[in-house]
Structures are given as structure tokens and as C-alpha cells.
A = this chain, B = another copy of it.
């Protein structure tokens, strides 16, 4: 027992260091009790900065980043301190992946779909148009080999991901005018992100991708005829419900959206195993809490918006059929161009078909009967 190791441990004496190599706490991973020497040596504090794609005003999104960071802190006895920053402070909202990959920030909290053009295979991490709902996405990630497959793609960018939240099924967005058929989409200037935007382009829409914190400004400047973001809670936080009368559903391009904590692989590999474990577990906890919050808050806010007079409108079945056909044609083209996309697409398609069949039996049959509240 070297006495000098004890000196720095007086409460509050935080030394900011990056741990190089493995600390003595590495032993924890083996579930053997660490010796006093090992515990006392683990005196270093790792401080990381996290670039978040969402402004603080979107308090479920940003709050989830905060929850994750707090939990990692607690689980490491205050020795692994991650601080989340809103867009623009460390990286622009739509460039968080680039910053993590380039190691200009330690980690990020973002949506893979933002990077769909450059890295189409990453969209399997956030979710695809006509793809999996939140429950199915988690089933694929944790029970169907999805997470391992996605990590192989992130690895090529020197990044590792930890799914840490899902919005649930999103809304189709706010439209100035009625959309009856595919023709009504022609020339419409719409804010829509990622793969959904690319498919909308094929359907005739003029797509603009604007970061969450800049949507309202774009509308005020008359640059948009329609905008989709998330759902009642976040949309109204941004003020979108005041910009158009019609609120369309469903977002067939986002039956769910999974949010990732991204960590630079080099930094990750230098973390003691106990810190790594804390990240993994905190991410899963954040996952369940975030989805619960989106569901509870969206449900309440939809009621309020309806009371305020917004008009809910379903997309016509025919329009969705055309969109679905175009979507799978697009996937075919992507698979032909991009090997990473192709491999993931094959595994994902099989999983999707199997779980659609199961959920048609157990979940959909009940929901169809019960949700319309016609009986009780």
C-alpha cells in the first residue's frame, strides 16, 4: 500500500486526467473483489464532453443525454464525468457523428438517420421507413443480432454505439394543405430527415434538411410548406403546431427512431472495464426511460393539441402503397451499390418479416380491438 495513492483521495480533489491503459479497477470485470490497493489506485477521474444533436428546449431528448451522463457518474462513484453540450457548442447538430469519428469530441448523442446520405447502412441503427417499431427495434438489437451487425458499420468510422432511447412511432408532420394523393406532394418544400427525405424526393418533394434548432426560423422565412419532426410533445415545443393546420399520420418513414450514444473507439478502448460496463448499463436504462417519457408526454400533448383545434389527418392508403413500393425499390438500389447496406438489409428483412408475423398475431389483433375505445 503506497501512501501517496491515498493523499489525492480527499473528497473533492478531482484530478482531470485521461486514463491511459487499464486501471487497477479492471479486475472488477472478472467479478472478483478488487483489493484495497486496486480501489485506492483507481483515483483518476475521466472527464468527457458529449456533443448532443438536440437543443435543451427539447427536454426529453436533452434530458435523456443528461440522465445517461448522471448514471455513468453515479455508477463510477463520480470518477467518470461526461458533460452534455447542446448543438453548436462542440459540433453542429447534424455533424455529431463526424466529430466523434474525428475524435474532436469524446462522445455524442444523436440519430444515425442524420447521416443517411453518406452512410446509408447506419440507418439500421436509428430505423428505416416501413421498418420496425420501437419494440421490434429493441428485439432486433438485443435479441436478434442487430446491435452486433450495426457495430461493424460504426467500427469502420472508429466509433462504437450504445442505443439509448427511442421516440416510438412518429407523426407525419405539419402540412399547409391537404394531401390526398401522391400528386399533391409534387414540388412541396418539406423538412424531412435522412432516408425518409430521400424517398420523399423520389415522390416529388423538394426536401430540405434543417437541424432541430433551426426549423422554426426556416418556416418563418417562408422556406418550407411542410415539416416533420417527431411527435406532439417535441413538435409543439418547437412551435410547429402554429405553422400549419393539418397534422398527418403515420410517419411511415419513422415507425420508430432509436437514438445512439456514440463513443470514439480509441477512447473506448482506453476505458477501464468498469467504466465500459457503466456506459453499457446506463444506456439501456436510458433506453427504457426515454421511450416511456415520449409515450406519456406525446399522449398528453396530443389531447391538448386536439382541444386547441389542430386537425388530425391520416395519409391515404394509396399514397402509402406508392410510398412503400418506392421505398423498397430504393432499398434494392442501395443494396446494389453498398455492401454494408446489403448485408444489414438481408438480416433486417428476415427479422422484420418474422416479427411482423408474430406481432400481427399477438399485438395487432389486440390493439385493433381495444385502442379504438368503441366498446368500453
Contacts and interface: CB of A to CB of B under 8 A. Distances in A.
B78 A299 contact: no
Nearest to A14: B33
Interface stretch (A83-91, A183-191, A194-202, A348-356): A348-356
Contact of A361 (B40, B142, B250, B362): B250
A300 B370 contact: no
A138 B288 CA distance: 8
Interface string A52-89: 00000000000000000011011101110000000000
Contacts of A302: 357-358, 361
A204 interface: no
A373 interface: yes
Interface in A286-308: 287-289, 291-293, 295-300, 302-303
A74 B279 CA distance: 13
A355 B144 contact: no
Interface centre among A282, A312, A355 (most CB of B within 10 A): A355
B363 A367 contact: yes
Contact of A28 (B78, B133, B139): B78
Nearest to A132: B370
A366 to B, nearest CB: 4
A218 interface: no
Contacts of A293: 139, 142-143
A362 B138 contact: no
A17 interface: no
A193 interface: no
Interface stretch (A95-103, A109-117, A153-161, A316-324): A316-324
A75 B169 CA distance: 33
Contact of A303 (B36, B70, B354): B354
A357 B361 CA distance: 21
B358 A295 contact: yes
B281 A376 contact: no
23 contacts: A11-B33, A28-B77, A32-B78, A74-B277, A75-B281, A139-B291, A139-B295, A142-B288, A142-B292, A142-B293, A142-B296, A171-B361, A232-B358, A249-B362, A250-B363, A295-B355, A295-B359, A321-B375, A324-B375, A359-B367, A360-B371, A360-B373, A367-B367
